[in-house]
Chain A
Amino acid sequence: YAQQQLVCAACGCVLAEGLLTTTYTDEEHLREVAYSQSTGQKEQLSRCLQRGIRRVQDLCKVLQLPAVFEETAVSYFQRALQLPAFRLVSLEKKELLGGCCVFVTCRQHNWPLTMGTICSLLYAKQELFASVFLSLQKELGLSVPALSLADLVKTHLSSFQLFQPTPDVPAPFLEDKEKLVARTMGIVELASETWLVTGRHPVPVVTAAAFLAWQSLQPRARLSCPLARFCRVAGVDLPPPAHLRLKELLEILLGMASQLAWLRGFDLDKRTVVKHVGDLLQHRVFLLKNAFCQEGGEEQQDAASGQGSPEEGTPGQDSAGQGSPSSPPVAQEKKSCPLSGKRQREATLRPLLPPCLIHPRKRLRPAAPSTSDPALTGDEPISDSEIEQYLRSPEEIRAFRKAKAW
């Protein structure tokens, strides 16, 4: 499978054909041939499997993953392809399967690779990738640890081009990497504690946090720069949800700022609060407790919950009813806030809840009348007239036939 040839360097003409070599010969001549490149391995694996393994290896090289990742990913791929769930799927899915194996391996080693990255490398539709990923997880029984947000912050910020002076980056944009990472981390943690992260795409949160962090480190110069421009200069994509995450973060910060003694005098808005992010982060535990309506002790009906002291608020549960919420959570919360000295203040503050509960979008549909019919047996007589309403009259049929030329 290998030939030594003497080729003219100038014109490329072959001057002398070499010998047909074998592994034995090559090894005699001290040339190592990897097993993966010899015919031995190829004979054992199907072409499809070979192709897939090559793909997995290429992906690992592109992502610059450690060698041990490649071995793990390839072994997952081989195992998966043997299972009936994957053996007969389309070629497109098999390609995604390779990507999934790499993705799972990364996550298991806490290597913060996002699905978005893998999908863009594979030119894959995210829904398809998602289904292959979930099947892979189920079929191989793999436990995939959650994406570590802290690691994601570090890797994501590494791709920002703000740390080295380049011709594209104006001086006011440059920032110290350590400082930016530390502050972004603080803001991301704050977001996590205030329910802005659970259930949401992680990257937009990091992008919005990085922007806020960057602004707050030199507010005078940077307050006028919008998020879009920041991302453009930094050379990163601006994911659409980042604007919303930014808005939510600013709202939280404003709420917290209202509790800082030396800021109460100022009339802060979402631009000026950025100047004080450092202070707000430093005292965030105290501020969160005071800035948002906490869950009162009387709502803890069950002693078994174990965790004694009320912490950042969860919605009041004083009414035991289920089904549709009779009143919006905010109103409920106001009633159920504890009778402490802070009651007045808390009555005007909002509860610390995920945004989906504070701004519920769905209006509950009233249940259909037949739903609650208790006596329904399913064997009720069916009247002819009821069925006939669903049948076309002969004239209608004629008209349709004419129109559609059936």
Chain B
Amino acid sequence: FKDDFSTSPHLFTPVDPYDVELPIQTTEDVSSSQFNQPKELHTDFSSVDLSFLPDVTQDNKEQSLSEEGHETQKEFDGSVPRNEDRVCMDESSLPCPDGTLPSPEGSEVCPPMTPMTPVTPVTPASGSSDIVPQLQNIVSTVNLACRLDLKNIALRARNAEYNPKRFAAVIMRIREPRTTALIFSSGKMVCTGAKSEEQSRLAARKYARVVQKLGFPAKFLDFKIQNMVGSCDVRFTIRLEGLVLTHQQFSSYEPELFPGLIYRMVKPRIVLLIFVSGKVVLTGAKERSEIYEAFENIYPILKGFKKPS
């Protein structure tokens, strides 16, 4: 399957998406740095229309939140640990001041700013996963903005491979961060193999410096993360035959072609490879939040197939 480079629409727009540096820590920090604190804290819900609440689907959430015009958060800010009931978090735009886990019903733990919780019973706290997908590969591109003599580069750089008959680019590698770059004569460059956005950016800068030191007027324009790949293990076996039956419109399971099930999630636009062992690969993300969101979406679905039929 091809990597999809199209941008998926953001569910929530942070103020400055490209200025944010995401530390590679637990996800609570990720969410805190990625999104700003809400500017307004609503205490009065009398004007809020809660009639949409019973069905907690992704679409409804989006709809309802855009109706409200909140600048709501996808995840809590850093005060609340991430591994709590996700539904509660998603509905709420408010941090819990004492930092304890709100119960699914929410109201008793978070005083006066009651989070908006669905009225229908939700899966209990243990229903959400404690599992966090690990990023395995980041693909990024950057424009060095000058024409390059690939033969020259291959001659004068130690870490370069160039075989024009096979591929029209120099393949360069550096040890730290351990990555590979494809450098084209147009000056465009692709950097792969990094395990985080920062690593990818640092690596790309190092490649640009190598090219600079070889005497080319390389710049560093339009650095962009094109694809992110994550993986994790749900620790239970999955009946792929069953999953493809109930989620036919999103799944493709062809054991003759590939042992895993290919699940094309619509929101966020992520492709998941689901294997019988319970290992899941997520790809197609432009931001790491999409990986986490996709996994949180698929986990309850997979749990439904935990037992053999």
Taking a contact as CB atoms under 8 Å apart, the answer to whether B276 and A195 are in contact is: yes
Q: Which residues of B contact A114 (CB under 8 A)?
A: 256
Q: Which of B127, B130, B254 contacts A322 (CB 8 A)?
A: B130
Cα–Cα, bound, A50→B259 (Å): 36
Cα–Cα, bound, A198→B244 (Å): 12
Chain A contributes a number of interface residues (CB within 8 A of B) equal to 70
**Which residues 92-148 in A have Cβ within 8 Å of B in the complex?**
114-116, 126, 130, 133-134, 137-138, 143-147
> Contacts A199-B259, A378-B202: A353 and B124 contacting too (C-beta < 8 A)?
no
The proximity string for B residues 241-263 relative to A, scoring 1 for CB distances below 8 Å and 0 otherwise, is 10011001100111111111010
Q: How far is the CB of A329 from chain B (nearest CB, A)?
A: 9
**Which residues 164-190 in B have Cβ within 8 Å of A in the complex?**
172, 174, 176-178
Q: Does residue A71 face the partner (Cβ distance < 8 Å to B)?
A: no
Could you tell me the dominant secondary structure of chain B's interface residues? loop
Taking a contact as CB atoms under 8 Å apart, the answer to whether A378 and B277 are in contact is: no
Taking a contact as CB atoms under 8 Å apart, the answer to whether A380 and B255 are in contact is: no
Q: Does residue B80 face the partner (Cβ distance < 8 Å to A)?
A: no
Q: Which residues of B contact A261 (CB under 8 A)?
A: none
Cα–Cα, bound, A109→B178 (Å): 50
Q: Does residue B156 face the partner (Cβ distance < 8 Å to A)?
A: yes
Q: Which of A322, A367, A387, A400 contacts B155 (CB 8 A)?
A: A400
Q: Does residue A356 face the partner (Cβ distance < 8 Å to B)?
A: yes
Taking a contact as CB atoms under 8 Å apart, the answer to whether B276 and A133 are in contact is: no
Taking a contact as CB atoms under 8 Å apart, the answer to whether B255 and A378 are in contact is: no
Q: Does residue A193 face the partner (Cβ distance < 8 Å to B)?
A: yes
Cα–Cα, bound, A386→B214 (Å): 14
Nearest B residue (CB) for A332: B235
Interface residues on B, range: 35 or more
Q: How far is the CB of A103 from chain B (nearest CB, A)?
A: 10
Q: Which residues of A contact B158 (CB under 8 A)?
A: 389-392, 396
> Contacts A376-B24, A400-B155: A371 and B307 contacting too (C-beta < 8 A)?
no
**Which residues 33-84 in B have Cβ within 8 Å of A in the complex?**
none
Q: Which residues of A contact B237 (CB under 8 A)?
A: 195, 314-315, 353-354, 357
Taking a contact as CB atoms under 8 Å apart, the answer to whether B155 and A199 are in contact is: no
Taking a contact as CB atoms under 8 Å apart, the answer to whether A371 and B195 are in contact is: yes
The proximity string for B residues 9-20 relative to A, scoring 1 for CB distances below 8 Å and 0 otherwise, is 000000000000
Taking a contact as CB atoms under 8 Å apart, the answer to whether B307 and A311 are in contact is: yes
Taking a contact as CB atoms under 8 Å apart, the answer to whether A302 and B259 are in contact is: no
The proximity string for B residues 220-239 relative to A, scoring 1 for CB distances below 8 Å and 0 otherwise, is 00000000000011011101
The proximity string for A residues 338-379 relative to B, scoring 1 for CB distances below 8 Å and 0 otherwise, is 000000000000000110110000000001101111111111
Cα–Cα, bound, A386→B131 (Å): 37
Taking a contact as CB atoms under 8 Å apart, the answer to whether A376 and B198 are in contact is: yes
Cα–Cα, bound, A351→B183 (Å): 50
Taking a contact as CB atoms under 8 Å apart, the answer to whether A390 and B210 are in contact is: yes
> Contacts A198-B255, A199-B240, A315-B235: A305 and B155 contacting too (C-beta < 8 A)?
no
Cα–Cα, bound, A131→B87 (Å): 37
Q: Does residue B159 face the partner (Cβ distance < 8 Å to A)?
A: yes
Taking a contact as CB atoms under 8 Å apart, the answer to whether B155 and A373 are in contact is: no
Nearest B residue (CB) for A384: B213
Q: Which of B210, B236, B260, B276 contacts A387 (CB 8 A)?
A: B210
Q: Does residue B205 face the partner (Cβ distance < 8 Å to A)?
A: yes
Q: Which residues of A contact B248 (CB under 8 A)?
A: 143, 145
Q: Which residues of B contact A279 (CB under 8 A)?
A: none
Q: Which of B130, B159, B256 contacts A390 (CB 8 A)?
A: B159
Q: How far is the CB of B305 from chain A (nearest CB, A)?
A: 10
Cα–Cα, bound, A193→B237 (Å): 12
Taking a contact as CB atoms under 8 Å apart, the answer to whether B256 and A305 are in contact is: no
Q: Which of B24, B241, B252 contacts A198 (CB 8 A)?
A: B241
Which of B132, B178, B209, B249 is packed against the most chain A CB atoms within 10 Å?
B209
Q: Which residues of B contact A264 (CB under 8 A)?
A: none
Cα–Cα, bound, A392→B153 (Å): 10
Taking a contact as CB atoms under 8 Å apart, the answer to whether B256 and A201 are in contact is: yes
Cα–Cα, bound, A123→B197 (Å): 44
Q: Which of A192, A323, A380, A391 contacts B210 (CB 8 A)?
A: A391
Taking a contact as CB atoms under 8 Å apart, the answer to whether B157 and A199 are in contact is: no
Taking a contact as CB atoms under 8 Å apart, the answer to whether A391 and B259 are in contact is: no
Q: Which residues of A contact B120 (CB under 8 A)?
A: none
Cα–Cα, bound, A391→B196 (Å): 26
Taking a contact as CB atoms under 8 Å apart, the answer to whether B202 and A374 are in contact is: no
Cα–Cα, bound, A3→B231 (Å): 68
Cα–Cα, bound, A133→B252 (Å): 11
Nearest B residue (CB) for A401: B155
Q: Which of B21, B127, B236 contacts A377 (CB 8 A)?
A: B21
**Which residues 320-338 in A have Cβ within 8 Å of B in the complex?**
320-323, 325
Q: Which of A116, A307, A375, A382 contacts B256 (CB 8 A)?
A: A116
Q: How far is the CB of B223 from chain A (nearest CB, A)?
A: 9
Taking a contact as CB atoms under 8 Å apart, the answer to whether B206 and A372 are in contact is: no
Cα–Cα, bound, A243→B117 (Å): 55
Cα–Cα, bound, A353→B205 (Å): 46
The proximity string for A residues 273-315 relative to B, scoring 1 for CB distances below 8 Å and 0 otherwise, is 0000000000000000000000000000111110100011011
Taking a contact as CB atoms under 8 Å apart, the answer to whether B209 and A387 are in contact is: yes
Taking a contact as CB atoms under 8 Å apart, the answer to whether B156 and A370 are in contact is: no
Q: How far is the CB of B97 from chain A (nearest CB, A)?
A: 26
Taking a contact as CB atoms under 8 Å apart, the answer to whether A377 and B240 are in contact is: no
> Contacts A143-B248, A199-B259: A377 and B198 contacting too (C-beta < 8 A)?
yes
Nearest A residue (CB) for B193: A368
Q: Which residues of B contact A1 (CB under 8 A)?
A: none
Taking a contact as CB atoms under 8 Å apart, the answer to whether B233 and A325 are in contact is: yes
Cα–Cα, bound, A376→B205 (Å): 14
Taking a contact as CB atoms under 8 Å apart, the answer to whether B255 and A201 are in contact is: yes
> Contacts A314-B237, A378-B199: A199 and B24 contacting too (C-beta < 8 A)?
no
Cα–Cα, bound, A302→B233 (Å): 17
Please give me the 6 A-B residue pairs with the lowest Cβ-Cβ distance, nearest first.
Answer: A378-B201, A199-B259, A378-B198, A322-B131, A376-B198, A198-B276
21 pairs, CB–CB < 8 Å, chain A vs chain B: A114-B256, A115-B254, A137-B252, A138-B264, A198-B276, A200-B259, A302-B303, A304-B126, A304-B303, A311-B308, A314-B306, A315-B235, A357-B277, A370-B178, A371-B24, A376-B23, A379-B201, A379-B202, A382-B205, A392-B156, A397-B155
Using A374-B25, A391-B213 as known contacts, list a sample of 11 further A-B pairs with CB atoms less than 8 Å apart, ordered by residue number in A: A115-B257, A199-B240, A201-B256, A314-B237, A314-B308, A322-B132, A325-B233, A370-B177, A373-B24, A378-B201, A387-B213
